[in-house]
């Protein structure tokens, strides 16, 4: 697989950076002729210090937002969350931002839930890549004490959330290839004092799930 | 007479070939973005295209926006199609409700043309950054100069675009292959565990940890503005602890740039089950500054002395 990169000019780890990715966020492609997307979601801008979570799941094959969300609802992710945005670019067009509030599971006994946001061009409901087919990308994390149970509230653990969602969809019969795509968005386990509720953790290798 | 039963349909068609379903090569992605919009609002059928139409804002199924950042004046192509009974006498461009341009085709005694093609370039750069409404109004000769958009003989289509002062530049990079090497955190872990071992006899941590063994699941940097202040750990308690009441350390981030990055506080905690714990260690002061139940623990009460929740929680989730 070839992952071509485009990098947004801008710093990372700047003083005052509260939600900065480890490295400047990058536009990545699944193949060299495919559309590109930022490897992180976040605020509706390109500010490298306002990122939320790294892309950790790619649904490919015959994926569309509608189809993947339908499957996720069927495995229990029926709640919605707060909207974030993922920048993307198709062909030579301008960079666009797709917003999604995502789908969440209900809270478990510990007060934790799974949250996944899915992104693709709204106009087509999917990206189209010559090698990977119709695909959508997802960011994942765990919300803890987010509107249920008792604080302390925490958000993060993307790697753990990625694995849990992959397991849920594997039970549906979808082909799951864990940690298959290197997207250059590794986030070692870390925390920023200015925003301690945000726990970064992702190995930078997205799980590839093939949608039939 | 008011127009009854305005029929507005937005039809998206692919400009050059059916590219949606088949991933077929270099042009596929470009074609998929090159939509033409067709709006049927009697008496006319309005067909829109061009860069500004491509860059319009959309809304997804959950209501969230999908928008482009427009930093320059972009062309908007419009084709108005009428009939023998509905001829194009006037086409108007409005930006944020104000008429910016009006086009009136040459009409002959037998009537105005049944179709018209025009390219507008709305002057968006002069407007402030933000969302702007673009409207196109087509009228036949019976509605010329009518200010009523819902009147018969008037067709209207509108959409939003988001403008910005400047689109951030992009720098093309090189293809990447292997992952960067993962830094060794063994030293960081040893340092953090040393501080924890020295502090776990303090009353709060002694109550919280009891005699359980602490197993490190993850360890990484606790940062201030991207620079390491200490260590943050997710640890497992073996065995897990139940019905734990303790007063544990925690902190509140400070908002001012100078001085200490946090203010210490104490939290009275009652946990039904403590299976995992987040522990933050300030290695400069050699102190445990946070002890919080992890995502596999269950807390019954959490009463901070200073703040109910750390700053920054509002835009998370």
**What is this model's ipTM?**
0.89
Rounded to 5°, the CA angle A40-B31-A61 comes to 55
| pLDDT for the residue A18 | 67
B147 or B78, which is more confident?
Answer: B78
Is the separation of the CB atoms in A32 and A4 below 8 Å?
yes
Q: What is the mean pLDDT of residues B141-161?
A: 85
What is the tens place of the pLDDT at every residue in B114-131?
A: 999 999 999 999 998 999
Q: By the CB < 8 Å criterion, does B301 face chain A? A: yes
Rounded to 5°, the CA angle A105-A108-A110 comes to 135
The answer on pLDDT for A15 being more than 60 is no
Cα B146 from chain centre: 40
Q: What is the mean pLDDT of residues A100-125?
A: 96
Q: Give residue A23's pLDDT band: very low, low, confident or very high (50, 70, 90).
A: confident
A127: β partners: A135
Strand boundaries in chain B, DSSP class E:
10-14, 35-41, 44-49, 58-59, 65-70, 76-81, 90-95, 98-103, 115-120, 130-139, 154-163, 170-172, 213-224, 227-253, 262-282, 287-293, 298-304
User: Which residues in chain B are closer than 8 Å to A131, comparing Cβ atoms?
Assistant: 23
Total number of residues shown for chain B: 317
CB contact under 8 A, A194 and B261: yes
pLDDT above 90: percentage of residues in chain B: 67
| pLDDT for the residue A12 | 31
* Tokens found for residue A101: 């509030």
Kindly compute the dihedral angle of the four CA atoms of residues B90, B71, B69, B22, in this order, to the nearest 10 degrees: 70
Distance from CA of A97 to the nearest CA of B (A): 5
The nearest alpha carbon in chain B to A38 belongs to B170
The nearest alpha carbon in chain A to B280 belongs to A191
Residues 92-111 of B with CB under 8 A from A: none
Residue entry with tokens 């917003």? A99
The CA distance from B50 to B195, in Å, is 63
* Tokens found for residue B181: 């090497």
Among A13-22, B169-178, B294-303, the range scoring the smallest mean pLDDT is B169-178
The greatest distance separating any two alpha carbons of chain B, rounded to the nearest whole angstrom, comes to 100
pLDDT above 70: percentage of residues in chain A: 92
CA distances from B268 to A147, A152, B190 (A): 20, 12, 28
| pLDDT for the residue B177 | 52
User: Which residues in chain A are closer than 8 Å to B175, comparing Cβ atoms?
Assistant: 2-5, 32
The answer on pLDDT for A102 being more than 80 is yes
Q: Which of B50, B82, B56 is nearest to B68 (CA)?
A: B56
Q: Give residue B166's pLDDT band: very low, low, confident or very high (50, 70, 90).
A: confident
Among A165-169, B18-22, B172-176, B195-199, the range scoring the smallest mean pLDDT is B18-22
Q: Give residue B21's pLDDT band: very low, low, confident or very high (50, 70, 90).
A: very low
Is the separation of the CB atoms in B87 and B141 below 8 Å?
yes
Note the pTM of the prediction, 2 decimals: 0.87
Distance from CA of B231 to the nearest CA of A (A): 8
Q: Give residue A45's pLDDT band: very low, low, confident or very high (50, 70, 90).
A: confident
Residue B46 CB neighbours (<10 A) = 21
Residue A133 CB neighbours (<10 A) = 19
User: Which residues in chain A are closer than 8 Å to B262, comparing Cβ atoms?
Assistant: 193
The CA distance from A39 to A10, in Å, is 15
What is the tens place of the pLDDT at every residue in B190-228?
A: 999 999 999 999 999 999 999 999 999 999 999 998 899
Is the separation of the CB atoms in B57 and B160 below 8 Å?
yes
Residue A196 φ/ψ region, left for φ over 0, alpha for ψ in the -120 to 50 degree band, beta for the rest: alpha
Q: Which of A88-92, B16-20, B288-292 has the highest mean pLDDT?
A: B288-292
- Chain-wide mean pLDDT for chain B? 84
């Amino acid at each position: 697989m070839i992952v071509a990169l485009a990098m947004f000019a801008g710093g990372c780890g700047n003083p005052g950076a509260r939600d900065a990715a480890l490295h400047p966020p990058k536009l990545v492609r699944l193949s060299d002729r495919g559309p590109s997307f930022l490897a992180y979601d976040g605020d509706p801008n390109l500010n490298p210090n306002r990122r939320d979570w790294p892309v950790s799941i790619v649904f490919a094959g015959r994926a569309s937002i509608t189809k993947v969300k339908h499957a996720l609802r069927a495995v229990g992710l029926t709640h919605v969350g707060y909207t974030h945005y993922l920048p993307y670019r198709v062909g030579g067009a301008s960079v666009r931002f797709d917003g999604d509030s995502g789908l969440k599971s209900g809270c478990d006994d510990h007060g934790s839930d799974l949250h996944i946001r899915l992104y693709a061009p709204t106009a087509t409901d999917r990206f189209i890549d010559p090698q990977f087919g119709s695909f959508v990308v997802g960011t994942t994390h765990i919300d803890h004490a987010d509107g249920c149970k008792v604080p302390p509230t925490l958000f993060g653990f993307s790697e753990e959330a990625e694995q849990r969602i992959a397991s849920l969809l594997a039970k549906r019969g979808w082909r799951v290839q864990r940690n298959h795509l290197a997207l250059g968005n590794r986030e070692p386990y870390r925390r920023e004092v200015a925003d301690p509720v945000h726990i970064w953790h992702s190995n930078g290798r997205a799980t590839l799930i093939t949608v039939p | 007479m008011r127009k009854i039963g305005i029929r507005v349909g937005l039809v998206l068609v692919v400009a050059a070939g059916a590219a949606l379903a088949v991933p077929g090569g270099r042009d596929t992605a470009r074609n998929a973005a090159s939509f033409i919009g067709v709006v049927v609002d009697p008496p006319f059928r309005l067909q829109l295209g061009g860069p500004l139409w491509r860059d319009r804002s959309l809304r997804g199924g959950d209501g969230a926006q999908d928008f482009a950042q427009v930093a320059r004046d972009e062309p908007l192509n419009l084709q108005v199609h009428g009939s023998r009974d509905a001829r194009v006498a006037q086409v108007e461009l409005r930006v944020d409700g104000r008429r910016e341009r009006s086009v009136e085709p040459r009409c002959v005694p037998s009537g105005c043309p049944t179709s018209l093609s025009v390219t507008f370039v709305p002057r968006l750069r002069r407007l402030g950054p933000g969302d702007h409404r673009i409207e196109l109004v087509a009228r036949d000769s019976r509605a010329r100069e009518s200010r009523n958009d819902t009147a018969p003989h008037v067709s209207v289509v509108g959409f939003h675009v988001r403008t910005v002062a400047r689109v951030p530049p992009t720098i093309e990079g090189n293809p990447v292959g292997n992952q960067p090497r993962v830094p060794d955190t063994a030293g960081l872990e040893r340092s953090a565990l040393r501080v924890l071992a020295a502090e776990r006899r303090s009353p709060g941590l002694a109550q919280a940890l009891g005699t359980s063994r602490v197993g490190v699941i993850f360890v990484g940097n606790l940062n201030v503005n991207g620079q390491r202040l200490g260590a943050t750990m997710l640890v497992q308690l073996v065995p897990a602890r139940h019905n734990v009441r303790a007063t544990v350390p925690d902190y509140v981030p400070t908002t001012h740039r100078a001085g200490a990055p946090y203010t210490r506080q104490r939290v009275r905690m009652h946990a039904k089950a403590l299976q995992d714990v987040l522990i933050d260690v300030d290695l400069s002061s050699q102190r445990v500054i946070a002890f919080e139940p992890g995502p596999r623990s269950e807390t019954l009460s959490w009463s901070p002395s200073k703040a109910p929740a750390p700053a920054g929680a509002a835009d998370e989730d």
